[in-house]
Amino acid sequence: MKLYSALLILSLIWGMSFLFIKVLLEIFDPWQIVFLRCLLGIVTIIPLFLITRQKVDWKRLPVKKLLFVGFLNAGLPWGLIAWSETFLDSGYTAILNATTPIWTTMMGVFFFSVSLQWKQWVGVMIGFIGIMLLMDVDGPGLSKNQLLLGIVLMLVATCCYGYSSQYAKKHLQHTTVWITASSTLFAGMLLSALMMFLTDGWAVPENPIHYNSVLSLIGLGVFGSGIAYLLYYYMISAGSAEFATLVTYLVPVSAVMWGSVLLDEMIHRSAYWGLMLIFAGVYLTGKRVKKKNAINLEHDRTA
């Protein structure tokens, strides 16, 4: 019950995150947004870390693995998502984000010795048909190349999520949720700081910062990064990488709803059909793998 409660709360938080990013792009560039949300996320986690008196064995921390997961699960995908939203509506990017469980499954097959049943392969193919349908949607005010660039950026981001989730499940199983979440945000902050340096992102924003931008920044950093990642890594640790990424089932629904109500975004009807196909693919790929494979995975983790 706790896992499903965490799943529901996280879906509500991340559903709003796409909206927050869209609002913040009016003032900040993508890497500035990543840096600020990581910074606020860390500021949120540290007091909670101290209040709960978490114990850390600093000498045994897998620092390199933690940083690697942080780069792939925060820094890089968050920058790509924000960049994608310079072309696509927030609801559209959330729909593409729903492919994350499919990529998580595929990364398990390619890199983590996971074998699939025939139903799961069917699910993968159905999911890709949904992606192809989305690619054929006309974006208002966008050229075909801009639309495709936005889609590709989102798909690369979801691939990063998929690989990092499998990697964290395998290599960070015994690391506390607090450490994994805070190190993820710290690594994301480092990467975004570097990208800001390379792209002149340290410049002061030209447009004035309004109260709705401040609220969006708080929502994205405190809730969408700090609290959300505590919930996310809790689900990976107590459940599985596949279960944690099921949050993308619910995120597009709330993201499309909020984008429509607050930003007057209109989603093409074909995009909904693509979303339904992606959901069907995610459902089939989420079926349990063979028991033999589960035993092999457990052997790999203890080897």
The pLDDT tens digits for 108-146 are: 888 887 777 777 788 878 877 877 776 666 555 667 788
Summarize the confidence of residues 214-224 as an average pLDDT: 90
pLDDT at 5: 85
The span from the CA of 118 to the CA of 203, in Å, is 52
pLDDT at 243: 77
98 — pLDDT class (breaks 50, 70, 90): confident
pLDDT at 296: 42
Summarize the confidence of residues 60-85 as an average pLDDT: 93
Domain extent for 239: 2-302
pLDDT at 163: 94
288, pLDDT greater than 70 = no
Mean pLDDT of the residues in the chain: 81
Summarize the confidence of residues 88-92 as an average pLDDT: 83
pLDDT at 300: 38
Summarize the confidence of residues 173-198 as an average pLDDT: 90
174, pLDDT greater than 60 = yes
156 — pLDDT class (breaks 50, 70, 90): very high
Total of domains in the chain? 1
pLDDT at 298: 38
18, pLDDT greater than 70 = yes
pLDDT at 126: 84
Summarize the confidence of residues 138-162 as an average pLDDT: 84
pLDDT at 299: 37
Query: For the whole model, what pTM was predicted?
Result: 0.80
Choice among 30-39, 122-131, 251-260 with the minimum mean pLDDT: 251-260
Summarize the confidence of residues 142-163 as an average pLDDT: 89
pLDDT at 70: 94
78, pLDDT greater than 90 = yes
pLDDT at 232: 81
Choice among 9-13, 82-86, 238-242 with the minimum mean pLDDT: 238-242
pLDDT at 136: 62
pLDDT at 188: 94
pLDDT at 189: 95
